[in-house]
């Protein structure tokens, strides 16, 4: 089996304050962030993992969190130098770093760019100060705009902004005004997604008053029209990009590509030459990871029964779908193993009636969970 494209995910778990809606593996910092020790741990982790992908080119690096912009430019530079020394990083690799406006500094952004970061993802979430306070964010709208200005001044010409809708007390007019304000910042990419109440978060335990389903539907419909009119193409459920600016790292996830994962709680997925697909994770707590960075949090080989759903729950998020031939390339399985649910999905109008492409219809995108349910099988 030809190995799929390969990326690297790096998790930096600290943030200034845990947001009430966040279910990511993030930890509010108390005192100084141990950036030197953590970079040492990340590279030690990579020393163990790199031999598993010897000879394979790494096309993308994504440094996420948490708040990676808590780390200095020097620390990120040492990390990227260590990655390049251990992996075959392509010259045209997309290297993304997530940043929080509350930790933004002009000099720090310039240092990130000089270190080799070529794509910045800024967690704006809203440009309405009232909504930002309701979300528990540590920045205000002015700081978010300032962060974008600093990113541009540092030479970043590939910028993603995160924006949420369906926020506490938000109506259609407020949501569209927020979207308009973010579009005025002229990002190349926009992650526009609905606030959801996830288990094990403060908002799940004490839910705020959110817009009703009809209002959220109206926001989505009007917002999609606004984005399309501004020249953005929706290529995934919550991802919108100007031509040529789709996130390569995320597209690799959605097309069932491979990726190494380093850092506290990081996940990875690797395909073996014999077709087996292995998922693994690292210890979640930073303390445990620093003590034993190469320890395995979990590791398992996906069964033949699991592979179709694992593939499709990623691929069917893409509006353009994927070539039907990619199913065999990524799973090692014949498309015949899902012939019955494919026929059912097409009969129900959830999947395009095109044997060459696996692509959800507009109805299938709207009811993606129902579409994926057709492909669930028992062990």
- State the CB neighbour count (10 A cutoff) for residue 8: 28
Which is it for strands 239-241 and 233-236: parallel, antiparallel or unpaired? antiparallel
pLDDT for 274: 84
- The whole-angstrom separation of Cα 294 and Cα 173 is 49
How far is 21 from 165, CA to CA, in rounded Å?
13
Q: Determine the angle formed by the axes of helices 106-115 and 141-153, rounding to 10 degrees.
A: 40
**CA atoms of 28 and 232, how far apart (whole Å):** 35
Report yes or no: 110 and 77 within 8 Å, Cβ to Cβ. no
What would the pLDDT profile of 152-202 be if each residue is shown by its tens digit?
A: 999 999 999 999 999 999 999 999 999 999 999 999 999 999 999 999 888
The 10s digit of each residue's pLDDT in 263-286 is: 999 999 999 988 899 999 999 999
Sorted by sequence, the CB contacts under 8 Å of residue 96 that are 6+ apart come out as 60, 61, 62, 63, 117, 119, 120, 121, 160, 247, 249
Domain 6-252 fold: TIM Barrel (3.20.20)
Q: Using CA atoms, how far apart are residues 122 and 148, in angstroms rounded to an integer?
A: 8
Cα separation of 112 and 114, whole Å?
A: 5
Asked if residue 209 has pLDDT above 60, the reply is yes
The total of other beta-carbon atoms located within 10 Å of residue 298's CB is: 11
Reported as a single tens digit per residue, the pLDDT across 220-258 is 999 999 999 999 999 999 999 999 999 999 999 999 999
The reported pLDDT for the residue numbered 121 is 98
Instruction: Indicate the SS3 state at residue 97.
Output: strand
For residue 378, name the pLDDT band (cuts at 50, 70, 90).
low
Domain ranges of the chain: 6-252, 303-379
Radius of gyration of the chain (CA): 21
Q: What percent of the chain has pLDDT over 70?
A: 99
pLDDT, tens digit, 9 for 90 and up, residues 345-361: 999 999 999 999 999 99
Which of 249, 281, 277, 264 lies closest to 8, judged by CA?
A: 249
Single pTM value for the model = 0.95
List strands edge to edge, sheet with 6-12. Answer: 233-236, 239-241, 189-194, 159-165, 119-125, 88-99, 57-65, 6-12, 258-263, 267-271, 277-281, 298-301
Cβ neighbour number for residue 12 with a 10 Å cutoff: 29
The structure tokens listed for 354 are: 């095109």
Please, how many CA atoms are within 13 Å of residue 296, restricted to the half-sphere of its CB? 10
The CATH number of 303-379 is: 1.10.10.920
More confident residue, 153 or 18: 153
* Residue 89 near residue 83 (C-beta atoms within 8 A): yes
Confidence category of residue 56, pLDDT binned at 50, 70, 90: very high
Q: Is it true that 6-252 and 303-379 share their CATH fold?
A: no
Q: What does the chain come to in residues? A: 379
Contacts of 91 (CB under 8 A, 6+ apart): none
Secondary structure of the chain: what % helix, strand, coil (to 5)?
40, 25, 35
């Amino acid at each position: 089996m030809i190995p799929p494209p390969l990326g690297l995910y790096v998790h930096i778990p600290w943030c200034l304050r845990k947001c009430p809606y966040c279910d990511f593996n993030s930890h509010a910092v108390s005192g100084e962030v141990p950036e030197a020790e953590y970079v040492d741990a990340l590279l030690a982790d990579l020393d163990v993992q790199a031999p598993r992908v010897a000879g394979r080119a790494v096309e993308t690096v994504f440094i996420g969190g948490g708040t990676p912009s808590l780390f200095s430019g020097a620390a990120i530079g040492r990390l990227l130098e260590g990655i390049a020394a251990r992996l075959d990083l392509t010259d045209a690799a997309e290297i993304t770093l997530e940043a929080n406006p509350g930790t933004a500094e002009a000099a720090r952004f310039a240092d990130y760019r000089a270190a080799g970061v070529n794509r910045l993802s800024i967690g704006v979430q809203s440009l309405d100060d009232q909504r930002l306070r309701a979300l528990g964010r540590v920045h205000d709208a002015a700081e978010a705009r300032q962060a974008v200005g600093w990113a541009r001044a540092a030479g970043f010409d590939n910028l993603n902004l995160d924006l949420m809708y369906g926020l506490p007390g938000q109506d259609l007019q407020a949501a569209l005004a927020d979207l308009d304000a973010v579009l005025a910042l002229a990002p190349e990419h926009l992650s526009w997604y609905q606030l959801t109440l996830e288990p094990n978060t403060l908002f799940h335990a004490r839910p705020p008053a959110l817009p009703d389903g009809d209002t959220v539907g109206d926001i989505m419909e009007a917002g999609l029209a606004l984005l399309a009119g501004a020249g953005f193409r929706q290529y995934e459920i919550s991802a919108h990009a100007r031509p040529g600016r789709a996130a390569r790292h995320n597209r690799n996830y959605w097309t069932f590509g491979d990726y190494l994962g380093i850092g506290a709680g990081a996940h990875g997925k690797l395909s073996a030459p014999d077709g087996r697909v292995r998922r693994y994770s690292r210890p979640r707590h930073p303390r445990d990871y620093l003590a034993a960075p190469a320890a395995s949090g979990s590791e398992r080989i996906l069964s033949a029964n699991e592979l179709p759903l694992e593939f499709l729950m990623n691929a069917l998020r893409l509006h353009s779908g994927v070539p039907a031939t990619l199913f065999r390339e990524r799973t090692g399985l014949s498309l015949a193993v899902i012939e019955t649910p494919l026929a059912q999905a097409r009969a129900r109008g959830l999947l395009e009636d095109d044997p060459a492409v696996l692509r959800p219809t507009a109805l299938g995108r709207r009811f993606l969970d129902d579409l994926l349910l057709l492909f669930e099988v028992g062990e």
